[in-house]
């Protein structure tokens, strides 16, 4: 599996298994770094700054993975931005402590939870479950054709 292609290129198509692999890798990185920041720096200014930098650093690889999967479904890769941008904003608001505490969310916190839940469900179904377009499409050849 070409991880550089998966995480850095916006060209072409990837199948569901590569999307799942990319999503799991990015999720594990995000969780590990988030826990480390929380344990070492807490939710103060420096912790919020580091959480912001990590969210921004992981944004493009997330976009690349999702864009190629949308293209496999014969949809423009820019559709990924419809979900990733609101999720990024929600993550940044949480990282800066504007959503309340982990024990007591405020109204903005609940809105961020709903945004992330909605995007997560949409991406789960659209990118993780539904099949791609069989055969070549305007974004490239069928990624499953290479496996047969």
Q: Which residues contact 134 (CB under 8 A, 6 or more apart)?
A: 142, 144
Asked if the structure places residue 137 within a domain, the reply is no
Q: What is the reported pLDDT for 42?
A: 82
Q: Give the Cβ contact number of residue 52 at 10 Å.
A: 15
Kindly give the confidence (pLDDT) of every residue in the chain, 148 residues in length, as a single tens digit, with 9 standing for 90 and above. 789 999 999 999 999 999 999 999 999 999 999 999 989 988 788 888 898 999 999 999 999 999 999 999 999 999 999 999 999 999 889 888 899 887 899 999 999 999 999 999 999 999 999 999 999 999 999 998 866 5
**DSSP 8-state class, residue 112:** H
How many domains are contained in the chain?
1
Asked if the structure places residue 73 within a domain, the reply is yes
Tell me the residue range of the domain where 35 lies: 14-131
Asked if the structure places residue 46 within a domain, the reply is yes
Asked if the structure places residue 57 within a domain, the reply is yes
**Phi/psi at 105 (nearest 5 deg)?**
-75, 145
Asked if the structure places residue 9 within a domain, the reply is no
Q: What is the reported pLDDT for 94?
A: 85
């Amino acid at each position: 599996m070409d991880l550089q292609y998966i995480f850095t290129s916006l060209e072409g198509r990837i199948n569901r298994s590569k999307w799942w692999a990319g999503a799991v890798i990015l999720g594990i990185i995000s969780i590990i770094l988030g826990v480390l920041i929380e344990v070492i720096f807490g939710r103060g200014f420096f912790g919020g700054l580091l959480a912001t930098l990590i969210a921004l650093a992981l944004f493009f690889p997330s976009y690349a993975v999702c864009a190629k999967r949308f293209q496999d479904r014969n949809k423009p890769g820019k559709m990924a931005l419809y979900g990733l941008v609101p999720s990024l904003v929600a993550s940044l608001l949480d990282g800066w402590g504007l959503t309340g505490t982990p024990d007591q969310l405020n109204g903005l916190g609940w809105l961020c939870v709903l945004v992330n839940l909605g995007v997560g469900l949409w991406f789960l179904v659209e990118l993780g479950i539904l099949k791609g377009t069989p055969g070549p499409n305007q974004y490239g050849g069928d990624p499953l054709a290479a496996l047969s």
